[in-house]
Amino acid sequence: MARTIIVLLGCPGAGKGTQAPVIRKLLGIPQISTGGILRDEIVADTRLGRVVKERMKAGGLVSDDIVNHLVAQRIRKDDCALGFILDGYPRTVQQAQTFQMELTDTEEIVAMDIDVDIETLVLRLKSRLQCKCCNAVYNLETATPRFEGLCDHCGIGLVQRDDDREEVVRERFRTYQDHTRPLVEYFQGYGVYHRVDGMKPTDEVSRSITKILQNRGIRSMKRTSTSFRLPVLTL
Ligand code: AMP
């Protein structure tokens, strides 16, 4: 079956991690965050985690080969059978080309670029906190947890990411401009690119994204009980 693939573009802090769960609920397809997968490797202190740790801390990109391999493995899992949301991948034209080789012609890609200016990003990321356990994102200005410093879902302490410090954010923004910005033209070339104004309040951004999906005729892929009703055999 043809899968629907939502690619979330946008600088760090643009709101990809906030909007991906909204799309996940709407369409019933999983969210794949390469940053999340890599952070899990670091926390688990695996060989891969040790390889990528310094690179991520400095705000640079992890090698294309590593992330391409991680994504190729992840999208073969059963939960990706109807589609998936890519949060933070591809981040280079090479990644996009390698990823497309994994797909068939009938699979539909929609790229959404959540656009925000650099000073807003620095402000946002300085006040961003994340749950170590489920990766839920909070913001001390705009999306505070119910209990100070604790995740609403897990009750676990929230932390600031090493790479959310101002100098690292500026480096990540430069990395984005140099390596990821060319993807705008890349996806425009396929007629699947949509810009979303990420300076608007979160709810408005979600509404813009929902509208783009509706206009492209992309609907929920949640299975309903009727989809699995067995035919009645008359003998
Ligand atoms: P994110 O959580 O998406 O902001 O990613 C955090 C960090 O993980 C990035 O700054 C990169 O160091 C690394 N990373 C995540 N996704 C990719 C990717 N597709 N390609 C290369 N590095 C990545």
Chain-centroid distance, C-alpha 199:
18
Q: At what angle do helices 93-101 and 64-74 cross, to 10 degrees?
A: 30
User: Mean pLDDT, to the nearest integer, of 122-145?
Assistant: 87
* Distant-in-sequence, close-in-space partners of 202: CB < 8 Å, separation ≥ 6: 15, 18, 19, 142, 143
Annotation marks residue 91 as catalytic: yes
Catalytic-labelled residue, pool 3, 16, 39, 124: 16
The string of DSSP codes covering 11-51 is -TTSSHHHHHHHHHHHH---EEEHHHHHHHHHHTT-HHHHH
Span 24-62, pLDDT tens digits: 999 999 999 999 999 999 999 999 999 999 999 888 999
* Separation CA 89–CA 154 (nearest Å): 26
Q: In this predicted model, what pLDDT tens digit does every residue of 153-201 receive, in sequence order? A: 999 999 988 888 888 888 999 999 999 999 999 999 999 999 999 999 9
Q: What is the pLDDT of residue 223?
A: 52
Residue 225 has pLDDT above 60, yes or no: no
Q: Which atom of ligand 1 sits closest to the CA of residue 12?
A: 4
What's the predicted TM-score (pTM) here? 0.85
137 has a pLDDT exceeding 90? no
Residue 225 exposed, middle or buried by CB count within 10 Å (0-12, 13-18, 19+):
exposed
CA distance 55 to 127: 22
Pick the residue whose CA is nearest to atom 8 on ligand 1. Answer: 35
Active site residue 16: yes
Which protein residue's CA is at the shortest distance from atom 4 of ligand 1?
12
For the record, the structure tokens of 38 come out as 């890599």
pLDDT at position 230 is: 42
Percent of the chain's residues with pLDDT above 70: 93
Q: Read off the pLDDT of each residue in 99-105 and give the average, rounded to a whole number.
A: 88
Q: What share of the chain is helix, strand, coil (3-state, %, to 5)?
A: 45, 15, 35
- Of 57, 86, 88, nearest to 171 by C-alpha is 57
Q: Give the distance (Å) from ligand 1 centre to CA of residue 229.
A: 42
The pLDDT of residue 232 is above 70: no
Residue 165: per-residue pLDDT? 86
